[in-house]
Amino acid sequence: MVAGRGAGALLAFPFSPAAVRIMREAAGPGHPFVITFLGSFHGGNYATRAMGPHNAHCNHAIEPFMSGWINVRFPTCYRCPYHLDSPACDVACFGHVEEVILKYKATPHSIAGVGVEFIQGENGVQIPPPEWPKRLYDLRRKYGWIPYDDEVQEGVGRTGKWFAIEHRSGVEAELLSLGKGLCGGLMPLACTLGSDRTSAPAGEPYTGGTFAATPAACLMAAKLLEVMERDKVLDNVAELEWVANAKFGAMKDKYEIVGDVRVIGAYMCVEFVEDKGSKAPDHDLTREIVYAMERRGVVPTYESASNNFRPTPALNQPPKLFAFGRDIVEECVAEVSKAHAKGVA
């Protein structure tokens, strides 16, 4: 199994599309379905858009999608679709798979595997309850489904560990994709780690690409991992997490328009609302805040259809510099909040 850094094999193929093809090849004929989660982001083409999808706005004008995906609910606790509170809810949304999908949609043996982001990035850094990953893993073991962990965004240190899956004990994957941070954003490179069960079938389907396994990019990735070890970059990520929790967390307590703050390592999100009581998303205020930040030189990850922004500091960014940027963020939040007479919590 792929667990932590002890991968069974390195498959030099692109990420989600290839991983799913390998999953279906390994599962064999008669397993057409893959369970995936609403709100996940696995790529931008017709196949991978349908694996989530992460946002209805981003799907505009490219439907209909490819079939074969069974989309189920991901635990977005701040906006629970059941209007329950964690942990008292006992992860009620998890029961959807057996209580609904396996009863009405598909039999267990028709499902090849489960594709998941254990922390949803594009959906606003949604961090599931601690018990959810293990329950998902136990369910897939019960039925023999192949687990696929998409860590293109959160892998290689973004969450404070090499892999996001390491945050929960007793959870493994048989396919694990990496990209983006694998080369530090300098050259395009993606790969998929695989277990023994998935490595052999990986040679059957076509999974190549124009830029697959570029030697320079592979060398750069190897050097990046060496430098991260040498410079103790994960220790720095832990400091960035502390700064984010302390400073963004204080904003959540102070400002009526800051609905939720979600942080794990250097993976973080600040969500804005009209007021804390209604939790109604406020896209206009979010846009004003982001534009104010950009005028001051702080540029977050932001989509116009969202009511949140995601600070994405470099993993080796000095914590003092990050704290300085965070103070600029609060200046902008205070400015917009005052302009709209929103006040403090």
Fold (topology level) of 9-230: Aspartate Aminotransferase; domain 2 (3.40.640)
Please state, in angstroms and rounded to a whole number, the distance separating the CA atoms of residues 250 and 240: 15
Residue owning tokens 């209580």? 99
Instruction: Look at residue 277 in the predicted model and tell me its pLDDT.
Output: 92
Is there a common fold for 9-230 and 233-339?
no
Residue owning tokens 């000095």? 318
Instruction: Look at residue 141 in the predicted model and tell me its pLDDT.
Output: 95
Instruction: Look at residue 8 in the predicted model and tell me its pLDDT.
Output: 46
Please state, in angstroms and rounded to a whole number, the distance separating the CA atoms of residues 230 and 308: 34
Neighbours of 234 (CB within 10 A): 17
Instruction: Look at residue 219 in the predicted model and tell me its pLDDT.
Output: 92
Instruction: Look at residue 3 in the predicted model and tell me its pLDDT.
Output: 44
Cα–Cα distance list, 29 to 71, 109, 112, 136, 182 (Å): 21, 10, 9, 24, 33
Which residues lie across from 194 on neighbouring strands?
Answer: 9, 175
Domain ranges within the chain, ordered by starting residue: 9-230, 233-339
Neighbours of 297 (CB within 10 A): 8
Please state, in angstroms and rounded to a whole number, the distance separating the CA atoms of residues 75 and 72: 10
- Residues in the chain, overall count: 345
Fold (topology level) of 233-339: Aspartate Aminotransferase, domain 1 (3.90.1150)
Instruction: Look at residue 77 in the predicted model and tell me its pLDDT.
Output: 94
Q: Are 172 and 2 in contact (CB under 8 A)?
A: yes
Instruction: Look at residue 211 in the predicted model and tell me its pLDDT.
Output: 67
Query: What does each of the 345 residues of the chain score in pLDDT, given as a tens digit?
Result: 444 444 444 444 446 778 888 898 899 889 999 999 999 988 777 777 777 777 777 666 666 667 788 999 999 999 998 999 988 999 999 999 999 999 999 999 999 999 999 999 999 999 999 999 999 999 999 999 999 999 999 999 999 999 999 999 899 999 999 988 888 878 888 888 888 888 888 877 777 676 677 889 889 999 999 999 999 999 999 999 999 999 999 999 999 999 999 999 999 999 999 999 999 999 999 999 999 999 999 999 998 889 999 999 999 999 999 999 999 999 999 999 999 988 775
Instruction: Look at residue 300 in the predicted model and tell me its pLDDT.
Output: 92
Element at 111 (helix H, strand E) = strand 111-116
Question: pTM to 2 decimals?
Answer: 0.89
